Amino acid sequence: MSNLEEARYFKFTGESGHVPRPACVTLVGAGPGDPELLTLKAARVLSTASIVLYDHLVSREVLKLVPPDADLVYVGKESAHHTLPQDAIVELMLRLARDGRPVVRLKGGDPYTFGRGGEEAQALAEAGVPFEVIPGISAAQGAAACAGIPLTHRDHASSVQYVTGHLRSGQDETLRLDWPALVRPRQTLVIYMGLASLPVLSAQLIHHGMDPQTPAALVEAATLPTQRTLVGTVQSLPSLAQQHAVRSPALIIVGTVVSLQPMLAQATGRAQSILPSCEATLASA
């Protein structure tokens, strides 16, 4: 299996003068990590793929479904390190498709949920390149189910808000979130890419009226054997994350639904992966 780390290794037959009909680009959601959570359609497409452009959060187990003779091209993004800029990823997809080579664009979670799948689909549509989108189980769905935290519950939350806590251009970017909407009662708040900005997020939620003792959780490596869940409050979560050296990928869940986690996790056999609650942690500090 080829691991082509840079786009320059490709030779495009279309550049020799022949212009084939554009091939299809398939945007595939790889789910939250566990390969058994892939959709049947996603697994089928991967099993026949010839070129796969894959992101950082796609697990090795999922990549094993790709044929041995396929080209695997890593185009992942990590904090402060992008293998290829987003514009270059789009350009690579377009060049391959215009060269008549079907492309699988493999993304962690669901392509249309904080995966830039919408941006890539828009670019493909504007360029007249045919494409298909295969949805995946989102990180929020996988983390909530495997950690024992229902996203909605009639006694706790009738709505869910998904936001990104990524500090794209400094703290001001995060501060532009609709804080009054995020602190409304009877809802669940799910924060993607918020680990690095967790202290800012915690402080701003409290500043805008959220009870500091609102239950909150961090789910690290959701659905994988290394999954860890930290349960505390919106006030204590930053210190818990630092104390237990939580690493990305990690999802933040805030709301009273988190109070159900100890009971549901124990009942589903995941209690052994749960770290102490904030009260127990702070008492032993």
Q: In terms of residues, how long is the chain?
A: 285
DSSP secondary structure code for residue 164 in this structure? E
Written as one letter, the residue type at 34 is: D
Two structure tokens written together for 171 = 């703290």
Dmax over CA atoms of the chain, in Å, equals 72
Calculate the dihedral angle through the C-alpha atoms of 276, 277, 278, 282, rounding to the nearest 10 degrees.
Answer: -40
Element (H, E) at 21: none
Token pair 């409304």 is at which residue? 184
* 20 close to 99: Cβ distance less than 8 angstroms: yes
Written as one letter, the residue type at 118 is: G
Written as one letter, the residue type at 246 is: V
**Which residues are known catalytic residues?**
55, 77
